[in-house]
Amino acid sequence: MSPKYTNQLIHESSPYLLQHAHNPIHWKAWNSDTLAEAKNHNKLIVISIGYAACHWCHVMEHESFEAEEVAQVMNNNFINIKVDREERPDIDQVYMNAVQILTGQGGWPLNVVALPDGRPFWGGTYFKKEQWISALNQITKVYNATPEKIKEYASNLEKGIKSIDLVNRNTEAIHFNKEFIEATITKWSEQFDYDKGGTNRAPKFMMPNNLQFLLRYAYQNQNESLKDYVNLTLTKMAYGGIYDQIGGGFSRYSVDIKWHVPHFEKMLYDNAQLVSLYSEAYLVTKNPVYKDVVYETLSFVEEELTTEDGIFYSSLDADSKTKDNILEEGAFYVWQETELKTILKNDYNLFSEYYNINEYGFWEHDNYVLIKRISDEEFSDKHNISLSDLKTKVKNWKSVLYKIRNERDKPRLDNKSLTSWNALMLKGYVDAYRVFNEDRFLNSALKNAKFIIGRQLKSDGGLYHNYKEGKSSINGYLEDYATTIDAFLGLYEVTLNETWLNHSRNLTNYAFDRFFDDHSEMFYFTSNEDPELIARTVEYRDNVIPASNSIMSNNLFRLSHYFDNKSYLKIATTMLHNVKPEIQEYPSGFSNWLDLMLNYTLNFFEVAVVGEQALSLVKELNQYYRPNKLIVGSLIENNLPLLKNRFIDGKTFIYVCVNKTCQLPVSEIKKAIELIQ
């Protein structure tokens, strides 16, 4: 009996899969039935992986997957599986590793051909239609003629995939020191662009965690040149086209070295982390540009990516339709000179100077991407306009252009919600509240935390990964636990509500039961309850989002202090020690680990605030940048290890401790800050 050929994606909830639901390809989703069908009928599998906001995924769909001649080749010879990489990062990791072994590089769309048992043997990223057809025909011919050669190759590749993310126990003596970190940054700094910020190459990714670590290191070590580099990068990013000058929020990356022309998709995870980063940077610098970025980005998130229930959507597409009804990258965001002259009239000349409607801001096809070159202070001096008048004009320009832009065809929305990305955004709101003390930011954080606990927490204490229209179906990955624990710890520190601390501990213990590898003392990305893939990966290299293992190790370090749990501290220390041999080879891939290492090499403070005024003192304390601390507090008697027997009726005291050794309690924040060096 031959396999049943239909496009089955219409039954899926992922917006990315639904985009392909009407292709002539007989797409199927990744599930046990599809995999069994491939085995039962001994058919090769095409596994095509992408995501809703991916520009080149759309290009390949239009060129190839909508074409009947491509469908004929794929439908006749293969079982065809479409995967949303954001819904199934576990599958993406395995086949991305395969393609990186095969070709030396990766990206999306990711296209792989595998044996009927799922083991890959060929793959790449974007293919033109003729290339794709030719490759599939050749693969079919070779497999039919000499299947044993393909199987042997797949077996060898499988070994490589299984070894690529293995972390071995580091059996050397544990030793973390400042010299190691300093040497790492010295090597890393060879890649810095001291003129335009970021790395000295294109494309440029923002890498929030890299900058957060470098900011902390520069501050704690009085490294002025490194502090200047971080601030240069943050300023250039805020001035660039990568930042939406009209509507707020950041795109994924810049295709050029000056942060000008972005890859226009806007991802929740980027904006979440950048809100945290710019909030922290504002604490250090009090730079009003950073505050504007935080407020405008949160306004964008609230307007475009948030439901009434406080749940966060995933992304906005890079592509939207032009006036001529053609789907084009960046169409929603770009401007033409004649259009701007008509809209702005007498203000056009000043506007064009401010946002560079000139050679510097030109992109292509008569389109300009708005970009600033200088600060408002410099601009007001240069053009003989008061700073207050300039700010009024800029605010008016943004308002006018925002309304007109919103009449255009909008980019498509990926309206699924992912627990991990929601937790990152929750943390962004917490950090913004901590720094700027806006109650609405805390309310948004609490609303989202309620969603995670109310909707994504399973009856057995675990988490779901995805949510859309009332349904959650995919078992949580380590990233969901790590980011949620981190967000809840942040929520505890600004509310002193122990519920969030206890949820963090419970999720941690759940992760130990389902994800922990006793041999390496690292955490697998997938639960031991999930169906097996050809490899069970350990995600430990930081990327645009820090690795789930590095977030977990930081969580364990902090939880060990909150609960005086020596086991948590031992595991956190071992995890950091395990990755240490790789850190200097690729520093930017270990910034979150390096952040943890700072806790071991410099003083790390436990700040306990106890008494009726604890919350107001915590708010005051949070107006100082002290990244080498955690906060624990209570308004009443409390039995947490750092709070026990410290409540005195009618008094509020601050206890500053290092390694369980505490200074005499103080009642004034300035005195406490002096103790936190």
Assess whether pLDDT exceeds 90 at residue 239: yes
Question: What is the average per-residue pLDDT within 246-261?
Answer: 97
**Do 117 and 124 form a contact (C-beta atoms < 8 A)?**
no
pLDDT in tens, 640-653: 999 999 999 999 99
**Do 259 and 392 form a contact (C-beta atoms < 8 A)?**
no
pTM: 0.96
pLDDT at residue 500 in the model: 98
pLDDT in tens, 61-80: 999 999 999 999 999 999 99
Coil/strand/helix, residue 606: strand
pLDDT at residue 383 in the model: 96
Question: What is the average per-residue pLDDT within 443-466?
Answer: 98
Mean pLDDT of the chain: 96
pLDDT at residue 662 in the model: 87
pLDDT at residue 660 in the model: 77
Strand order in the sheet with 120-124: 27-29, 78-84, 44-50, 110-114, 120-124
pLDDT at residue 4 in the model: 55
pLDDT in tens, 262-304: 999 999 999 999 999 999 999 999 999 999 999 999 999 999 9
Nearest to 314 by CA among 456, 466, 446, 95: 466
pLDDT in tens, 25-63: 999 999 999 999 999 999 999 999 999 999 899 999 999
Which amino acid is it at 28? K
Residues 6+ apart with CB under 8 A from 43: 3, 37, 77, 78, 79, 116
Assess whether pLDDT exceeds 70 at residue 425: yes
CA distance 246 to 253: 18
Assess whether pLDDT exceeds 60 at residue 328: yes
pLDDT at residue 166 in the model: 81
CA distance 43 to 36: 10
pLDDT in tens, 624-642: 999 999 999 999 999 999 9
Assess whether pLDDT exceeds 80 at residue 587: yes
Assess whether pLDDT exceeds 80 at residue 406: yes
Neighbour tally for 613: CB within 10 Å = 15
Please tell me the least confidently modeled range out of 337-351, 590-604, 650-664: 650-664
Selected from 3.40.50.10490, 3.40.30.10, 2.60.40.420, 3.40.50.10140, the CATH number assigned to the domain covering 9-164 reads: 3.40.30.10
Q: In the CATH scheme, what is the code of domain 178-319+414-601?
A: 1.50.10.10
Question: What is the average per-residue pLDDT within 557-563?
Answer: 98
Assess whether pLDDT exceeds 50 at residue 3: no
pLDDT in tens, 131-179: 999 999 999 999 999 999 999 999 999 999 988 878 889 999 999 999 9
Assess whether pLDDT exceeds 90 at residue 233: yes
Neighbour tally for 222: CB within 10 Å = 8
| pLDDT confidence tier of residue 471, bands split at 50, 70 and 90 | very high
Question: What phi and psi, each to the nearest 5 degrees, are found at residue 259?
Answer: 60, 30
pLDDT at residue 5 in the model: 63
Beta-bridge mates of residue 80: 27, 46
pLDDT in tens, 495-544: 999 999 999 999 999 999 999 999 999 999 999 999 999 999 999 999 99
**Do 42 and 107 form a contact (C-beta atoms < 8 A)?**
no
CA distance 93 to 113: 15
Coil/strand/helix, residue 406: coil
**Do 480 and 539 form a contact (C-beta atoms < 8 A)?**
no
